[in-house]
Amino acid sequence: MNVASLTISQIRDGLRAKSFSASELAAEALRLAAAENPKTNAYLLLSDERALSAAARVDQQLAAGQDPGPLAGVPVAVKDVIVTKGLRTTCASRLLENFIPPYDATAVQRLEQAGAVILGKTNCDEFAMGSSNENSAFGPVRNPVAPDRVPGGSSGGSAAVVAQGTAVASLGSDTGGSIRQPASFCGVVGVTPTYGRVSRYGLVAFASSLDHIGPFARNVHDAALMLNVIAGRDPMDSTSALAPVPDYRAALQQDVRGMKIGIPREYFEGLRNETADQIRKGLDLLRAQGCEIVDVSLPHTSYAIAAYYIICTAEASSNLARFDGVRYTFRAPEAKTMLDMYNLTRGQGFGAECKRRIMLGTYVLSAGYYDAYYLKAQRVRSLIARDFQQAFSQVDALITPVSPFPAFKLSEKLADPMEMYLSDIYTITGSLAGIPCMSVPCGATSEGLPVGMQILTRHFDEPGMFRLASSFERAGGSTL
Ligand code: GLN
């Protein structure tokens, strides 16, 4: 058995044929993860005990002739902003360095109920704020494809473990691109479902109106299967959607003949590099498979970054107020008064990016500035959502690059936050609109750096998105 290349279907077949047991697979995955981790720093924690007992349960069920579930024995990793009962969950922050949650996130619970084996928790940007994984309090993650480069962020660890082959799939979170951008940088599949499709219960909140949980996987089929398991209404999250969850695998076999794909012209203006070349090759491939490709416009695109960094910082300033040394977090020991305790705890606990966002967010919500910034940004958000609605009245799906450039070098963009924020230019619009989007591998640059193609569809049209992605993958899109 070679953990580094197994897919979910191969695991199912292997278990059935008794080529290996779930316990053997878990032990091998844990061994490999421990051996490989010094190269990437992608795992913050390996949960040997929990993984081995989940795997033993699967083996017992198999031996007793019971159905161990659609993800039986599949080794998965979970981003460290998603809580796991009894397993330290740090959000890659000093503040939560020793936080042991008393419950599991719904997505984690559903994965384990489906037979998945949780190997450990993955590194990320602190509280999911960043695009390079360099904002982690526990050190950056290196891209397994090019170790002098970042894996993207904020879910850099979750993308890296799948690319590195130490986990077969993983969970990440996406607020403005944090699943899609690292998936594109590491050459794996990453899915941000419709807002509300997957419960956020147990996802430590960054910007609640934009936060999503979604899967990373080695191929489209595995990503669809992961989403099948984690999607659906959850009474613990009132924003989770009531809409029934279709079996996403049904969409994977359909061809794409006659599908109409829109290319938003604003996304390609001024983009003349190998990323643009790869996406064009991808479009040619889809055309050859019978898709009709048309030009569309999303006229408010240029306001997206400004609106996003007002809305997400406003929500973050409110969400992060709870980390004050009283309940969850470390408490600055030298504090003498209560105010001192708040100030010192937060001052020492939060990293620079979190502080920057808390300050920005507090400012845009303050009396006198609220209308000028926050309210205006919300209006822009509506306009951006309307742009998509109009585009989807003409086409079935949109295709864009995920990021304007491939994985960049470690430290390259650290000194200039604005430069870093620009990496999200193509992913933030879909997040503001709450529509499903994904990154599917679309070949590599001449230096061998992976390029991701972004597919966006209407609210709850994950089937349409998977149909396009899997047809693209079958036609050889990932190695273009
Ligand atoms: N890179 C974006 C940011 O820094 C997106 C982060 C995310 O999606 N969690 O906010």
Q: Is 79 a catalytic residue?
A: yes
Mutate which of 80, 154, 402 for ligand 1? The one with the most ligand atoms within 8 Å of its CB, which is 154
Q: Is 93 a catalytic residue?
A: no
3-251: CATH topology: Amidase signature (AS) enzymes (3.90.1300)
Q: Which of 21, 47, 79, 403 is catalytic?
A: 79
CA of 26 to the centre of ligand 1 (A): 31
Nearest Cα to Cα of residue 108 among 151, 143, 158: 158
Q: What is the pTM of this model?
A: 0.97
Residues of the chain with CATH 3.90.1300.10: 3-251
From CA 93, how far away is CA 338, in angstroms rounded? 22
pLDDT at position 90, please?
98
Q: Which of 131, 136, 154, 199 is catalytic?
A: 154
Tokens 């019978």 correspond to what residue? 290
Atom of ligand 1 nearest to the CA of 423: 1
Q: How far is CA 207 from CA 73, 200, 313, 347, in A?
A: 33, 11, 7, 21
| Per-residue pLDDT of the chain in tens (480 residues, 90 and over written 9) | 788 899 999 999 999 999 999 999 999 999 999 999 999 999 999 999 999 999 999 999 999 999 999 999 999 999 999 999 999 999 999 999 999 999 999 999 999 999 999 999 999 999 999 999 999 999 999 999 999 999 999 999 999 999 999 999 999 999 999 999 999 999 999 999 999 999 999 999 999 999 999 999 999 999 999 999 999 999 999 999 999 999 999 999 999 999 999 999 999 988 889 999 999 999 999 999 999 999 999 999 999 999 999 999 999 999 999 999 998 888 999 999 999 999 999 999 999 999 999 999 999 999 999 999 999 999 999 999 999 999 999 999 999 999 999 999 999 998 888 888 888 999 999 999 999 999 999 999 999 999 999 999 999 999 999 999 999 999 999 999
